[in-house]
Structure 1
Amino acid sequence: MEVSKTAVIIPNWNGWKDTIECLDSLKKAKSKDLFDVIVVDNNSTDDSIDRITEWGRTNYLNNFFLNIDINNKALVNIEEHNLILISNNINKGFAAALNKGAKYILSFSHYKYVWFLNNDTVVDEAAIIELINYAEMNNQLGMIGNLIMEYSDRNVVQCMGGSKYNILTSLNTPYMNGEKIIDVQGAKLSNKISYICGASMFMKTSTFHEVGYFNEDYFLYYEELDYTRRMNKKGYKIGFSSSSIIYHKGGSSAGSKSKYNTSKSSLSEYYSNLSALKFTKSFHPAIFPLFFINRYLMKIAYLLIKRNFTLIKSLNKAYYDFLTNKKLS
């Protein structure tokens, strides 16, 4: 009989408060015997390692393990450890952190599912069991999302499953954003979204193994859109469970603009532009020249109106780095 156990992979970078709040919510989840948690720290410069280690040892006692070398074939038996902390000695980005956790869990045969979960989320107690139930009933889906609510206002939808992406403007439109939860539960995806939100991506480990790792050419942003396109090429579709609910802050580490984080950082501006250029060059080369000019003009006009000269520097640097030396996937 196949064991429907799930590995929950959570990346952390200088965000131990968010990560611990996320871990607290997972510890309250139903059917805790159905999942293990792997936190991948991306070379944090704060005291994340110490804080998460302290939390793990307090809450999981002996079922906690720190600093696993995934290149060591003599791996710790994860079945005896419900929380694993892997620390990177270099920050290679969001995709690389997810991949490191995935590489570890793929060394074992008892994980049927993997749930890539942002650290700035809080999960409903039934979120994971609802994802598993939905996956079991929809075997054809490559990736599954859930109902993502605003952390600061838990009656308001941040997105249902994911977003629609416009390839010409590179604008993302989160599905059902701003709607009240009572008005949207039971809604169908159909063709309303282009990809599952990267804050919560649930899939079979066998599908992940077939499609491959996340593209590490994207340091931040566009990893999930790139992955969805690669899944589509193999015939997989996406879906979501409206019964599985999480609450997402958004922008806590990278500094992307959200209701929780009202100003955009230079880091976020730089990588959002660089990744948009990489993605479009890779998947839509025919429209890339138009996209290249159109995005820059739209961005520069907006930032000049806002008089945000710091972000203009980030925009220019992204374009310069793309043109001079950035390797495309």
Structure 2
Amino acid sequence: MIYFLTVNYYSSDLISRLASSIQQGDRFDYRLVIVNNAVDDAAIALLENEYTTVIHASDNLGFGRACNLGLNWIYDRDPLATVWIINPDAYLDNGAIAQLNCLLQAHREIAILGTAVYDTSGQLCFAGGKFTPHNGAIWEEKDTSATLSTSKYMAYHKTDWVSACSMVLNFPHFSTCPYFDPDYFLYYEDFDFCRRYATQGYEIYFSDRPRVIHQTSSITSRNLDLKIAHEIYSYLLSLEKHASNLVLGFRLIRIAIVSGGQMLCLQPQATGKLTGVRMYCQRTLGKTVVPRSQP
């Protein structure tokens, strides 16, 4: 069975669109699992049916910890499941489910897979992720043409990390339930997940098939400065965990200096960056990180 796992934060209309794209696919055994991070969003309950389960979090857990709640729920019931983690503001392209089944049957070694993500205009916006530990660069690839095979439905290759906007986990490859690091609230939890499991010997794969369509930042763009703050905090946290202290220190100081220089012309962005630096410094000093609400 395929379990689709998504996280709700006042996005029931978007999840309804996602559910419709799943139902319109080829006939197969599936369940949509929604972890509700918005405790007062009554509309999400209307989506629950024989194919859809809503798990209510006690508070806004952030993305990774909410996914953990769903992953544990699925693993307890079906440790041999295939789990497709997908953003609430994304939906499946035509034939995506059949393409995934075809790929996993042909390449049974795949445990962690990221799919191609396109925006609503048809522009490719994620084709695998790269990481350079010696300078702290973490980036997304945009062009699949240089690396992917042209074989129909079989194009896949190794990459450093994949996006949890559309990430497939093949449970039979894991001896225990896989999980996201709870230190993360929002952003870079997918990068950390991939690098952590890569150190345990797992290969990270990206495939041009299947594909999903993502209404980019339709949720997180609601509050730009808080979005940027979480991005900077999680980026620095990722360098702490996966790069040297020298690289972390250089990047932190550089972000702080550049942000200070942007205060006059780009104040919302600069304020968000400096807030992220402050949040990270508070964490390293053992203080409570205050801005926990989701943008």
Q: Which range, TM-score by smaller chain?
A: 0.7 to 0.9
Q: Per-residue CA shift, 1:276-320, capped at 9, x if unaligned?
A: 222211222343322332333344445554233542552353244
Matching of residues 214-233 of structure 1 within 5 Å:
214-233=180-199
Tell me if structure 2 keeps the 8 A contact 1:185–1:242.
Answer: no
| Alpha-carbon distance in structure 2 between the residues aligned to 1:291 and 1:316 | 10
Q: 1:115 to 1:276 in 2, by over 3 A?
A: same
Q: For 1:100, give the aligned amino acid.
A: L
Gaps of 5+ in 1: 57-63, 65-80, 256-260
Paired-residue identity, %: 20
Aligned residue number for residue 186 of structure 1: 150
Deviation for aligned residue 1:209: 4.7
Deviation for aligned residue 1:248: 0.6
Q: Per-residue CA shift, 1:18-59, capped at 9, x if unaligned?
A: 11111111111112x3211101111344x3xx3232244xxx
Tell me if structure 2 keeps the 8 A contact 1:165–1:173.
Answer: yes
Deviation for aligned residue 1:234: 1.9
Matching of residues 265-284 of structure 1 within 5 Å:
265-284=224-243
Q: 1:210 to 1:302 in 2, by over 3 A?
A: farther
Q: For 1:285, give the aligned amino acid.
A: S
| Alpha-carbon distance in structure 2 between the residues aligned to 1:169 and 1:300 | 22
Gaps of 5+ in 2: 289-295
Instruction: Give the secondary-structure state (helix, strand or coil) at the position aligned to 2:113.
Output: strand
Aligned residue number for residue 24 of structure 2: 28
Instruction: Give the secondary-structure state (helix, strand or coil) at the position aligned to 1:107.
Output: helix
State the TM-score, normalized to the length of structure 1. 0.76
Q: 1:110 to 1:275 in 2, by over 3 A?
A: closer
Tell me if structure 1 keeps the 8 A contact 2:252–2:277.
Answer: no
| Alpha-carbon distance in structure 1 between the residues aligned to 2:273 and 2:83 | 38
Tell me if structure 1 keeps the 8 A contact 2:36–2:54.
Answer: yes
Tell me if structure 2 keeps the 8 A contact 1:144–1:203.
Answer: yes
State the TM-score, normalized to the length of structure 2. 0.83
**1:324 equivalent among 269, 285, 291:** 285
Deviation for aligned residue 1:109: 3.0
| Alpha-carbon distance in structure 1 between the residues aligned to 2:79 and 2:68 | 18
Instruction: Give the secondary-structure state (helix, strand or coil) at the position aligned to 1:195.
Output: coil
Q: How many residues align?
A: 282
Question: How well do the aligned residues superpose, as a CA RMSD in angstroms?
Answer: 2.8
| Alpha-carbon distance in structure 1 between the residues aligned to 2:195 and 2:177 | 10
Instruction: Give the secondary-structure state (helix, strand or coil) at the position aligned to 1:92.
Output: coil
Q: 1:267 to 1:44 in 2, by over 3 A?
A: farther
Q: For 1:158, give the aligned amino acid.
A: C
